Amino acid sequence: MLQKIYDWIDDRIDITPIWRDIADHEVPEHVNPAHHFSAFVYCFGGLTFFVVVIQILSGMFLTMYYVPDIENAWQSVYYLQTEVAHAQIVRGMHHWGASVVIVMLLLHTLRVFFQGAYKKPRELNWMVGVLIFFVMLGLGFTGYLLPWDNKAYFATQVGLEIAEQVPFIGEALKTLLAGDATIVGAQTLTRFFAIHVFFLPGALFALLAVHFILIRRQGISGPL
Amino acid sequence: MSDEKRQVSRRQFLNYTLTGVGGFMAAGLLISPVRMAIDPVLKHDEGGDFANAGIAIDDITADPQRIDWTIDQVDGWYESEVTRSAWVYRNDDDEIVAFSPICKHLGCVVSWEGNDDYPDQYYCPCHDGRYYKNGVNVPGTPPLQPLDVYEQEERDGMLFLGKIQPHEEA
């Protein structure tokens, strides 16, 4: 049945080359943990992406209940934590996944660094990776505020004051982030929400696409 | 090499294994989010909460009168007071009936004798839907069902109304 549907579509629009191009590629021996167990270090990049997928999925579902408003943000989080079946698990996935992403990303970075895989011709991909790292930190920072509890509030206040230390543009930067020069409140929360679920994920998807296209074009770096 | 015993090829075996493991992982990943998303459908309705409609049983007459009262509504994390309305009257069998004023056509609000041309009928201004005094829709007008009725209860001489239910007879 599935085969027939596939054939019907493939017959008309020839999709086989498309997915072959994406899915079929050689994994060199030095990257395959079946040959050299130490090759598991090559998994960190893929694991980072896997956790990112978990973050996207759990985040999408969380927005079904979450409200980015100072009156209701905490209430809605409390409601989903206590009243909605499995919502605790989904929020747990998002909460812990946020930390695991950073850990995986750092392990991936360390592997690339110590293997010298960032060297010519892959410098550009290293730079894209660094940008992805910054976007991830931004996602972590903006997401931290969203439950609107005491920890979130005061952590954000500290974060905003760190941003204020930037020479010359510090104050403007803080106002831009918080939506108000002095208050961390209603406008800050909606701004952080918008940045967290629209702007940064958009940037992340674009950067990930470039990251993956580059690695496929250039191939995995050779054995040490 | 006899191929008699090789019913499952190496390729097939790997395909099945990978599909199985992949499916298991995807299912493990998605089961909680999906359960969370469909929670509103699976939540059972506690219901049966009767609220004082603010009218004494003795004040209900054979003429339908509109009553408004407020209930405490819990909507997820948001609690509020909302106004409910009903048309109550005493029917020929001396039973109290409380109709929901929501038209069964497209959900506008009906009024008793809402149009001078149709005395002794409920009238919906949106599409000229009409109902007889017993809540049954007038044939040939837009609504296809009789007006819904409130569950009711008498407490201390006052009328208490609960959930809205479909009109049974008719």
Which tens digits make up the pLDDT trace of B111-165? 998 888 888 899 999 999 999 988 899 999 999 899 999 988 888 888 999 888 8
Across the interface, do A72 and B31 touch by the CB < 8 Å criterion?
no
The residue extents of the domains of chain B are: 10-42, 51-165
A76 touches chain B (CB under 8 A): yes
Residue of B nearest to A62 (CA): B33
Q: Specify the pLDDT at position B48.
A: 61
Q: How many CA atoms lie within 13 Å of B76's alpha carbon, on the beta-carbon side?
A: 18
Q: Specify the pLDDT at position A171.
A: 94
Whether residue B139 has a cis bond before it, omega within 30° of 0: no
Element spanning B161, H or E: strand B158-165
Q: For residue A133, give the nearest of A156, A106, A111 by alpha carbon.
A: A106
A49 touches chain B (CB under 8 A): no
Tally of structural domains, chain A: 1
pLDDT at A154 over 70: yes
Quote the minimal CA–CA distance from B26 to chain A in Å. 10
Q: Specify the pLDDT at position A72.
A: 95
pLDDT at B170 over 70: no
Query: Best residue in A61, A74, A81 to probe B by mutation, most B CBs within 10 Å?
Result: A61
Task: Judge contact between A211 and A133, C-beta under 8 A.
Answer: no
Q: For residue B122, give the nearest of B140, B139, B107, B110 by alpha carbon.
A: B110
Residue of B nearest to A91 (CA): B33
Tell me, what CATH number does A182's domain have?
A: 1.20.810.10
Task: Give mean pLDDT, residues A194-223.
Answer: 95
Q: Specify the pLDDT at position A164.
A: 94
Q: Specify the pLDDT at position B46.
A: 67
pTM given for the model: 0.84
Contacts of B23 in chain A (CB under 8 A): none
Q: What architecture does CATH give domain B51-165?
A: 3-layer Sandwich (2.102)
Contacts of B30 in chain A (CB under 8 A): 57
pLDDT at B42 over 80: yes
Share of chain A above pLDDT 90, in %: 91
Q: How far apart are CA A174 and CA A167, in angstroms?
A: 12
Q: How far apart are CA A67 and CA A62, in angstroms?
A: 10
pLDDT at B35 over 80: yes
Task: Judge contact between B115 and A109, C-beta under 8 A.
Answer: no
Q: Specify the pLDDT at position A26.
A: 82
Q: What is the DSSP string of A147-159?
A: T-SHHHHHHHHHH
More confident residue, A69 or B51: A69
User: What amino acid occupies position A144?
Assistant: Y
Q: How far apart are CA A17 and CA B122, in angstroms?
A: 67
pLDDT digits (tens, 9 = 90+) for B63-73: 899 999 988 88
Q: How far apart are CA B126 and CA B122, in angstroms?
A: 12
pLDDT digits (tens, 9 = 90+) for A23-76: 888 888 999 999 999 999 999 999 999 999 999 999 999 999 999 999 999 999
Query: Best residue in A69, A75, A84 to probe B by mutation, most B CBs within 10 Å?
Result: A84
Across the interface, do A85 and B29 touch by the CB < 8 Å criterion?
no
Q: What angle do CA A125, A133, A76 make, to 5 degrees?
A: 140
Task: Judge contact between B136 and B143, C-beta under 8 A.
Answer: no
Residue of A nearest to B76 (CA): A79
pLDDT at B45 over 80: no
Range of the domain at A77: 41-218
CB burial readout B110-127, b (16+ within 10 A) else e:
bebeeeeeeeebbbbeee
The rounded mean pLDDT for chain B is 88
Q: Specify the pLDDT at position B3.
A: 57
Q: Specify the pLDDT at position A106.
A: 97
Structure tokens that stand for B18 in this block: 């990978």
Q: Specify the pLDDT at position B4.
A: 64
Q: Specify the pLDDT at position A128.
A: 98
Contacts of B39 in chain A (CB under 8 A): 84-87
Give the CA distances from residue A121 to residues A39, A44, A88, in Å, rounded to whole numbers and listed in that order: 22, 21, 45
The answer as to whether A90 is a domain residue is yes
Interface of B with A (CB under 8 A): 29-33, 35-37, 39, 42, 76-78
Share of chain A above pLDDT 70, in %: 100
Q: Specify the pLDDT at position B47.
A: 61
Q: Specify the pLDDT at position B169.
A: 62
Task: Give mean pLDDT, residues A195-216.
Answer: 96
